[in-house]
Amino acid sequence: RDIDSDSIGECALELKPSAMAHLVDREVAGRVILQPAPGTDPSCKRVSYSFQSLAGLVSDSESGLGSHPGSFHRLVSDADAAASDEPLPRCRSASVSGLNDPFAALSPKRQGSYSPRSRVLVKSKTASMQPSPFTPLVPDNQEGLVVFDENFKTFHLKAGASQYSFCVDQYGSLEHLHFGNWVGTGHDLTFLSETDPALTFEPAPAGTQYSVGELLRMIEGEESVNPQQLWMLSTHMKDKRSGDWHMARVENLTWRLRNLWSRNSQEQEATVTAQQVLKVLEKSGVPLKRDDAEITGAAPDHTAPEHQTDQRGKPGRQGEKGSKLLEVSEFGTGDFRTPSLDVCFRKDGSRLLPLVYQHHRIIAGIVPSSSGLPLLGARNPEGAQTLVVDMIDTYTEMKVQLLYTVFPDISAISRRVVVRNSSRLGFSEVDLTKCMSGTFDFLTDDWHLVSLHGGWACERQITTRRLQEGTVHLGSNRGVSSHQMNPFCALTAGPPSEDHGHCYGFCLLYSGNWLMEVEQTTTGCVRVNAGLSNTHFSWDLGAQEAFESPECICVFSDKGLGGMTSTFHRLLSERLIAPRWHDLVCPVLINTWEALYFEVEHHKILELAKPAKHAGVELLVLDDGWFGRRNDDTTSLGDWKHDATKLPRGLPGLAEDLNAMGLKLGLWVEPEMVNKDSELYEKHPEWVLHHPSRLRSEGRNQLVLDLTRVAVQDYIIESVSRILESADIRYIKWDMNRALTDAYSAQLPAKQQGEVYHRYVLGLYRIFEVVTSKFPHVLFESCASGGGRFDAALLAWCPQAWCSDNSDSFSRTRIQMGTSMWAPVRCMGAHIAACPSHQTHRTHILKTRFIVALWGTFGLELDLTKVSQEDLAEIKELVALRQSLCQVTLHGNFFRLPGFGYPGASHANSAGIGESHVFAWMFVSPDQQRAVVSAIIFHRDTVGKFPSRLKLRGLRPELTYDVTEHVPTPVEQGVFNGIFQAGGPRFKHQRRLQLTGSVLMEVGLPVHFNFDGDSLLLELKVHAATPSRSDAALGHFGSTH
């Protein structure tokens, strides 16, 4: 092609136009030699580029990076360029709207340097570089959160104050080096693996990823071969495996092969058969390895070539892949730990997938999901950077893309995987049977595992264990994230501590079947795999199709579990929850369930609304029973039309009456389910998950709709939209009251039945995305028989979730302690419920129920028409108090408070780790000017013994705080043990305190409890006038309460 000489300086280029077009059009790997023109500066060197790289070059004068007129620099997406110390030129932000296949842009051909249909080989000075259609490379003026050190082939990701580093080893694997406090770039961290001892009898990787046999396998399915392309392919292999003596010999052989056919043929692009190539290779002087001999039938030659290098001189651990710390692990290639991926190639039944590094890109922002999965930064990508590392199986050309995203000032890494079937060798039919979002390997330490277990009405109980050799499996195969286990775990170096020690937290953004594998090997090293459950999972990955995993978050903290929790809370609040809800103060609501159950008649609802409004309630939520013929749980799910008998004026009339009283209307729905006794089921019995030839199992008298069907998704979207359009509804409680069974979709072919569970979740995410986008003013709360689907993923659409159907104060304290490990307080649905508790029949004072409900969104779930006037007046005062404290409790920094308790084995377990009957927590405003402190005792069986002092956290040591105690404890009047005790409200402290933050955190507060279920609520405010140093140290006592 004609190339403007100004755009290439004084460099002369000789290239047959048709040949270049042919090669670029077919993505052929090859090299172009750029030779300085005669008469130019002698210092100009001859340079070599691949065709793909050449397509994205810009000249010296444009980039300002060249040192002589004959050079070319700054490849747009070449790994070398992306890894260079200088920033890439003129990369800017790009819109992602309207993008149909964002992951298509992850392919190098779509990254800006090379397009198979483009004929622009060298850009002119005036031509502007086109950014990627989905997100740009890192711009010049942006801080580099991702750095590639070309000298040591090492990636460094700056995640807040932490650093995540890994390298490309001599075999092309990605070896993990460091995840911890920031140590800086420029260090040769590959020394970390050099001194590790070799393990006897452990297999080592092949000395090379390419061989003559490999080259033959690449052409064995072809009827004819272009010798020119064959030579270019081998040249590309040699370049990617620089220093590989064997591939250099193969490249030389194919060069001779090319010249031989060029001389014997009239046409330069003559083709030959694979058998002819085979014969030439057999007659060549290149010694064949064992796998080559198996193909050719030649006798193996065990003589080592004279140019073979000593593998012991190469950096990195000496071959034992099974003991390396890896970023991704595949089955059957020497790593016997649980793998990251499992595939099956139907062509030959092989499950081998040896992956080697191919190239990488560093991208500003995030790479959008191609399948609708929730992602951190999807709505707020500002400042984020994403590293995309391409791994490839050189035999089948199956590609695996590892995506790492980091955000400024947050010590967390998010990871996910894209598996792309780009095979051209008859391996187009692939079953993907396991796909972990991230593999995290750690060296030996005193590792302890923290996880969240439980069941219905006792979700997310904190469980700890010291790791031993073997594998711990955490997960759910119920189709939902489940009550039984939560998609979260943490590793701590040493016994779990709230305020010190290294800690790594893992949270999976997924609402279906999930798996976390925590394996400690005989070496003491630990691997954590997090991703989709591989039970009943198999994805039919067709040719040129891609599969993406959910996102996994890994948080590092050097300040124990408390530091990990703070990072999770900030990350999810800032980067996952929709920006329109960032400053949300959840409305005080009353739910009709425990007050009316199915008897939700118009007049009864208004009777409940009157005292609710008097108490300060802002929103009334109409729970189950308002639709169809729903008088019990056996009928009408799926028929989302109001019951005219119960609601003669319908939802619009109810909303009007509530609005006239100053209340908003909220609504309960369960759109994913259907009863057999319903109009929907009679019309579409095929719309439920079931095998048509088998009996079906039911749960709560209901069946699960097949959300893999687009028609079902559209029906739910239409039904919910019709409801929200019919009346002024400001809140939706989205429930889901049974797990998935009989997970068979009659619409999918047999080979795709392993996709049902995942496709169900993708369908659910599509429904949420459409509905919440259509009604952005409606607040959605997720629910699944309580906390059966309380996972991070749904926070992308539902900024709050119902913690549990159990609102008993004791039970809720443990549930919310566990939930707070990763979930922000503002997301935790918590209410003052009826007393005695409908779940445990325990009785608690109203103060204690209030304090626990304050630790969440806050609402009421009791029949206010049946409470006494005295209690109603107290509820009104408590609601008003909540309104004055909610900015701190909902948007402040949360701290669990350890070290508080009575003598005994459970002493100091007040932060939820281990057995305890005493718990304490607090909230601190972002500016540290205000704080709210809570504590509760379950069982006071230590009469006559004193508890330790309650030490606070998160305050500014130099500031003085006014300490105010709210809500006195009611004490009965009478004679106890022969001593008269005056009754009435009683505070823990009879004086108002003024104490510095240092005193409150280092000395603490004395707290004494009077009876089982007693509690404490304190508010701290910075004192207007700073006291003297002596007063600050000793504390100033003011007026009594």
Mean pLDDT of 289-301: 35
Q: pLDDT tens digit string along 752-778?
A: 999 999 999 999 999 999 999 999 999
Q: Is 316 helix (H, G, I), strand (E, B) or coil?
A: coil
Q: How confident is the model at residue 152 (pLDDT cuts 50, 70, 90)?
A: confident
Count other Cβ atoms within 10 Å, centred on residue 973: 10
CA distance 229 to 225: 8
Residue type, 451: S
Least trusted range by pLDDT, from 297-311, 650-664, 803-817: 297-311
| Structure confidence at residue 395 as a pLDDT band (50, 70, 90) | confident
DSSP letter, residue 532 = E
Measured CA distances, 805 to 191, 809, 811, 815 (Å): 53, 12, 10, 11
The string of pLDDT tens digits covering residues 258-290 is: 666 665 554 444 555 555 555 555 544 443 333
pLDDT at 1038: 32
Q: Which residue has the higher pLDDT, 311 or 645?
A: 645
Q: Does residue 116 carry a pLDDT above 60? A: no
Rounded to whole angstroms, how far apart are CA atoms 506 and 429?
Answer: 33
What's the helix, strand, coil split of the chain in %, to 5? 25, 25, 50
The mean pLDDT value for 1018-1034 works out to 64
The overall average pLDDT reported for the chain is 81
- Is residue 393 flagged as an active site residue? no
Dihedral, CA atoms, 439, 444, 445, 447, nearest 10 degrees? Answer: 40
| φ, ψ for residue 493, nearest 5 deg | -85, 100
Return the half-sphere exposure (C-beta side, CA atoms, 13 A cut-off) of residue 251: 21
CB atoms within 10 A of CB 222: 16
Model confidence pLDDT, tens digit, residues 666-689: 999 999 999 999 999 999 999 999
**Could you give the 3-state DSSP secondary structure of residue 621?**
strand
- 335-339 — which CB contacts under 8 Å span 24+ positions? 337/519, 337/521, 337/527, 338/471, 338/517, 338/519, 338/527, 338/529, 339/434, 339/436
Q: Which residue, chain included where needed, has tokens 């030129």?
A: 89
Q: What is the pLDDT of residue 36?
A: 55
Radius of gyration of the chain from its Cα atoms, rounded to whole angstroms: 33
**Between 619 and 188, residue with greater pLDDT:** 619
Q: Sign of dihedral through CA atoms 549, 373, 137, 383?
A: negative
Residue 476 neighbours by CB under 8 Å, 6+ apart: 482, 484, 485, 487, 512, 513, 514, 533
State the Cα torsion 877-880-882-887 to the nearest 10°: -160
What is the total residue count of the chain? Answer: 1041
The verdict on whether 805 is a catalytic residue reads: yes
1009's tokens = 């409890």
417, 402 contact by CB (below 8 A): yes
Query: What is the helix (H) or strand (E) element at residue 283, kind and residue range?
Result: helix 274-283
CB atoms within 10 A of CB 448: 20
Is beta strand 960-965 parallel, antiparallel or unpaired with respect to 1015-1022?
Answer: antiparallel
In the DSSP assignment, the letter for residue 449 is E
* Dist CA 1041 CA 985 (whole Å): 11
Return d(Cα 421, Cα 112) in angstroms, integer.
Answer: 21
Of the candidates 78, 292, 805, 1014, the residue annotated as catalytic is 805
Q: Per the residue annotation, which of 441, 639, 735, 808 is the catalytic one? A: 735
Q: Which residue has the tokens 């990871």?
A: 415
**Residue 652: φ, ψ to 5°:** -60, -45
Distance CA 663, CA 660 (A): 7
Query: What is 174-204 written as a DSSP string?
Result: EEEEEEEE---SS--GGGGGTTPPPPTT---
Report how far residue 752's alpha carbon sits from residue 225's, in angstroms, rounded to the nearest whole number.
36
Q: At what angle do helices 710-726 and 756-774 cross, to 10 degrees?
A: 30
Which 3 state secondary structure label does DSSP give 787?
strand
Over 90: is that where the pLDDT of 7 sits?
no
Which of 988, 1015, 989, 608 has its CA nearest to residue 846? 1015
- Compute the distance between CA of residue 689 and CA of residue 704 in angstroms, rounded to an integer: 6
Q: What is the mean predicted confidence (pLDDT) over 891-919?
A: 91
Q: Which residue has the tokens 């052929």?
A: 28
pTM for the full model? 0.80
Under a CB-based contact definition with an 8 Å cutoff, are residues 512 and 479 in contact? yes
Please, which residues bridge with residue 1037 across strands? 993
CB 901 within 8 A of CB 951: no
